[in-house]
């Protein structure tokens, strides 16, 4: 339901599609954005900000450490 303080829609029900579709689209966009940023930073060997990876970074692991990760 819309809050009573909303002038025209006061107390009416919110259609489920009007809430679910924008939420799903937003979640999908954010997931794709951060997946792209993560993949690009791993390929380039930098953080999202463009700085070099620190020595203790999990992506610098090798051997059993990489398998555990």
pTM: 0.63
Token digits of residue 3? 């809050």
Backbone angles phi, psi at 57, to 5 degrees: -65, 135
Which tens digit of pLDDT belongs to each residue from 4-56?
887 888 778 888 899 899 999 999 999 999 999 888 888 888 877 888 877 77
What is the 3-state secondary structure of 12-67? CCCCHHHHHHHHHHHHHHHHHHHHHHHHHHHHHCECCCCCECCCCCHHHCCCHHHH
């Amino acid at each position: 339901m819309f809050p009573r303080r909303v002038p025209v829609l006061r107390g009416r029900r919110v259609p489920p599609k009007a809430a679910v579709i924008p939420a799903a689209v937003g979640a999908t966009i954010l997931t794709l954005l951060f997946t792209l940023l993560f993949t690009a930073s791993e390929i380039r060997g930098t953080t999202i900000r463009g700085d070099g990876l620190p020595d203790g970074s999990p992506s610098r692991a090798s051997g059993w450490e990489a398998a555990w990760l």
